[in-house]
Structure 1
Amino acid sequence: MGKILMIYLGFRNGVTIIIVIVYLYKIKKREKFFPKLDDPQLETGIKIIGGVLLAGVLVFCTIPAGMDIPNMIHEDYLYIEGDAISNSPEDTRYSRAVTIENEDEKKITIEIVGTCSDVTYGDKLALKYLPHSKVGFVVKHETVE
């Protein structure tokens, strides 16, 4: 399951890095993002907003994933077991988020990568996840009806 996690994070962050490189290239060459757009103020606004959004994605997604590389290499995952306090139906994206609460009332939202049946409120879950990016996989899932 660790390989699927590595591929998922690698693809997601690889796409982000490619977008940042293209953005910086267009800024450096002073090219327009939208050639048919004739308003220079609107173009400048788009560049600024795009830069802020890309910086946010880098800070909150790519850097934490980079900090988790040693954990992925050594398969050093954090383990949490508890009750689901949010619903997360299975969808076609192959990943979804679920919030669980353990006995110490510690609540954490983890993005589940891999196959897992529908998670509903009250289900018992055991997850292994990466500490910085909060991405992991299901070890045990007990449905409570």
Structure 2
Amino acid sequence: MDAIRFKMLSRSIVIFAMVITLFFFLIKRKKFHNKLTDKEDTVLKIMAAILVCIFLYKMFLPIILDIPCYRNSQFETITGYARDNAHGKGNDRSVVIISIDDGHDEYVEFSYSKGIDKGDVLTVKYLPHSKYGILISINNDNVALE
């Protein structure tokens, strides 16, 4: 649970910092760099604003929608097969799980220090909007919750 809270909080802080930085450059009418022309600076600010809007929509909005679910422990659970390998650096794993029950696939992110191989049977509890979760079991072996 702490890993999910940390992921939600850290991503929210990064997006918030991006928004504040963009507003600083827009409100103070500062250039991103002194060597840029006015036209180049305007194009960069428009591109930055579009990028920040995408981050707000794709990352921040799902986190906001999941706050009530997190507080009320309204997690969804999926048991199924890993479609691909989920090896990576650190503890973060992103994997698409094909459900055993109805065959639909679901993208989820969770913390796990070892690799996930294609075909491993996973049980994951996750938040419905942001898809941040906790690995419950892998190949029917319980995983110690952090």
TM-score (norm 1): 0.90
Equivalence for 1:34: 33
- Give the match for residue 93 of structure 2: 96
Structure 2: which 5+ runs fail to align?
A: 141-146
Matched, 1:53 2:51: yes
56, 63, 66: which one aligns with 2:64: 66
8 A contact 1:116–1:138 mirrored in 2 = no
Query: Amino acid of the residue matched to residue 43 of structure 2?
Result: G
Contact preservation (8 Å) 1:86, 1:121 = yes
Distance in structure 2 (CA, Å) of the matches to 1:38 and 1:125: 51
- The answer for the alignment partner of 1:11 in structure 2 is 10
Question: CA–CA distance in 1 between the matches of 2:95 and 2:27?
Answer: 41
Moved over 3 A (4+): none
Deviation string, structure 1 residues 22-56 (Cα, Å, up to 9, x no partner): 11121011111123x23111111110111101100
Partner of 2:116: 119
- Give the paired residue count: 139
Q: C-alpha distance in 2, partners of 1:22/1:95?
A: 27
Q: Deviations over 1:88-138 (max 9, x none)?
A: 11412x3121011012110111112x2242111100000000000011110
Shift of 1:71: 1.1
Q: Is the 8 A contact 1:80 1:127 kept in 2?
A: yes
CA RMSD, aligned part only?
Answer: 1.4
Structure 1, unpaired ranges of 5+? none
In structure 1, the residue corresponding to 2:97 is in which secondary structure?
A: strand
Q: Provide the C-alpha distance between the structure 1 equivalents of 2:88 and 2:43, rounded to a whole number of angstroms.
A: 38
CA distance in 2, matches of 1:130, 1:90: 22
- Residues in 2 aligned to 1:116 and 1:101: alpha-carbon distance in whole angstroms: 21
Q: Give the secondary structure class of the aligned counterpart of 2:26.
A: helix
| Percent identity of equivalent pairs | 27
